[in-house]
Amino acid sequence: MSILPQTVEVAETADLADCEGCIQCQMGSKLVLFITGNCHWRCDYCPLSETRRDIDFMYANERPCGSFDEVIEEARAMRATGAGITGGDPLMARERSLEGIRALKEEFGQEFHLHMYTSIPFRPEWAADFADAGLDEIRFHFLDLEADQYKETIAACARSGILTGVELPCEPDKEEELMQILEDLRDFDVSFLNLNELEITVGNHDNMELRGFNLSTEITAGAEGSSELAQSLRDRVMAASIGARDPLDGKAREPYGFHLKYCTSVYKDAGQMRRRFMRRGEATIAPHETLSDDATLFFGAIYSSFEDHSAWVEEISEFTGLPTRFLHYDRDEGRIEMPISVAEEISEDAEAPVAVIEVTPTFDRTEVSLVWLNEHRP
């Protein structure tokens, strides 16, 4: 069993025209730095769960962090090559965001790529602060799809040397507005436009239902119609770039001057997240664990109290010949972890619960599945 969606059509390599933040994200090598849950706006499509929304706390991937030392530990645990700074809105914690940028660059060097998301048209003079701190790339989310209020800030970011672009969810009922955004961006100093398939999540399900959006298929969180619209927008930009007519209306248009990338909800989960999990699993796997193709960790376990676990370790090692370094006692879970083959070998004779367990390779090691190997239970 896997908590990650299954798909047979996941691109293996990034488009070389994509921005560096996207390329590293698709490789699974980007740390997700959730800098704050606070946001100045309440977008009805916001995917955040109630556990993170409007809560001023940091997470590095799935790990709660009270300091940037913990963020750095998580970055090392997944062998990160960069980080995406998100929220909420990072500009709601501007000083913390700047501190995080400086800390990560100081620890990992200038090649550690940092990109940040914001929906705030902040003071243009702040662009130099982010550039000086080491921010490599910034992505603006246009509130209500109104572009003009961001023009001055975007220009300042581009002048400061930050690769600047726009990232938007592709709302199926906003075709006219999104087509106009393409034209508006001709006058903006942007290098890219990223379109994300609109996702229906636990955090926004009620709002999406009110707007009449349904899931496009049973294996994706994407809203019906979002993908088709995004592909029409992409086709328009691509056609203009090669001097061809738009397949939608047959018109020839001048090149737009920026790259348009479309990211599906399936790929974000089955591609990006899976690769990030796999990367962390490869870096943190214990001697008794097995990393699956679904980017989860499997191991066997026998349940034991803390008082009895030493005796169990000694007996299992003597019975199977397994070195004790392959037997790990998890005090929080009250079990001795071991290779699956050893758990299967001892399950019939052991007078204690024995199981095969599957967890995510994340900081919290979320339990995905558990299969009992004998009749005993904790």
Calculate what percentage of the chain has a pLDDT beyond 70.
95
Is 11 a residue whose pLDDT tops 60? Answer: no
Chain centroid to Cα 178, Å, comes to 25
Given a contact cutoff of 8 angstroms between Cβ atoms, the answer to whether 10 and 271 are in contact is: yes
Comparing CA positions, the residue from 74, 105, 114, 14 lying closest to residue 280 is 74
Q: What is the pLDDT of residues 319-339, one digit of tens each?
A: 999 999 999 999 999 999 999
CA 153 to CA 156: how far, in whole Å?
5
So where are the chain's domains? 20-284, 290-372
Q: What is the pLDDT of residue 10?
A: 42
Backbone angles phi, psi at 32, to 5 degrees: -95, 110
For 338, the enclosing helix (H) or strand (E) is strand 335-338
Considering the domain 20-284 in this protein, what is its CATH number? 3.20.20.70
Mean pLDDT of the chain: 92
Global confidence as pTM:
0.91
Q: What is the pLDDT of residues 335-354, one digit of tens each?
A: 999 999 999 999 999 999 99
